[in-house]
Amino acid sequence: MGGRPAAGGGRWVEVDPDRLRRWLDGFGERHGAYEATVDAGSVRLDASDGAVAVLQPPPGAAEPTDLAAFVADAARPRRLGLVLARQASVAAGVADGGRLVASKVDSSYVQSRTAAGGWSQHRFARRRENQAKAAAGVGSDVVARVLLPEVGRLAGVVAGGHRKAVDAVLADPRLAPVTALLCDRFLDVPEPRLAVLERAVTAARAVRIRVLDP
């Protein structure tokens, strides 16, 4: 079974593109023969026992025309950019297929919230805001350094971490070519580190499937 609950019912599973054919075989074994149809840019499988699976194309993939084309295109290596950001760290990388081929990680100190009140609290808030702005500026420089030279070769850009932090980093006008390639997928990752960035490559290129069991 596995997977995580999906809003509105069912569960989400993530499948490595290279293992998608095997997953489909297993779906057929568990639920019987199925019919595949293309629906709103995804592929829907309706099995004979009432199970349903909706396959979403990975970032950068072409809009599917049928199941066979979907499987072939999902497994095709493509070049993706990654931008991960949280309060005190940012990571940018370039993935070629399943390999991270370029990366940069930076951590900038942002003071934690204070429990003090009055003027002290206001001073801490201002200081924290200034630190956050400075961290976002450093993050923008990191993303520009890693991704701007690659923009012309990227099939898409996948972001993750904390949305507000990512938005602050990508607000830099220099990064407009990067934001133009942003995909809908947003990764839930911890404080960005090199190991986190490496794991994000797998999550970025996975085929997401919503399964509704009978």
pLDDT reading at 150 higher than 50: yes
pLDDT at 3: 80
Full set of structural domains in the chain with CATH: 4-77+206-212 (no CATH), 79-204 (3.30.420.60)
The two structure tokens encoding residue 34: 């199925």
Judge whether residue 171 has pLDDT over 90.
yes
42 to 144, 154, 187, 200: CA distances (angstroms): 32, 22, 20, 22
Backbone angles phi, psi at 85, to 5 degrees: -150, 140
Q: Which residues contact 7 (CB under 8 A, 6 or more apart)?
A: none
What is the pLDDT, as a whole number, of residue 122? 53
Buried/exposed 140-158: b ≥16 CB within 10 Å, e otherwise = bbbbbebbeebeeebbbbb
Specify whether the backbone of 37 is left (phi greater than 0), alpha (psi in -120 to 50) or beta.
Answer: beta
pLDDT in tens, 21-80: 999 999 999 999 999 999 889 999 999 999 999 999 999 999 999 999 999 999 999 999
Q: What per-residue confidence (pLDDT) applies to 107?
A: 80
Q: Is 5 exposed, middle or buried (0-12, 13-18, 19+ CB in 10 A)?
A: exposed
- pTM summary value: 0.85
Confidence of residue 138 (pLDDT cuts 50, 70, 90): confident
Measured CA angle at 203 (ends 45, 209), to 5 deg = 10
CB atoms within 10 A of CB 162: 16
Token pair for residue 36? Answer: 């595949």
Q: 88-104, pLDDT tens digit by residue?
A: 789 999 999 999 999 99
Rg of the Cα atoms in the chain: 20
Q: How many CB atoms sit inside 10 A of residue 206's CB?
A: 20
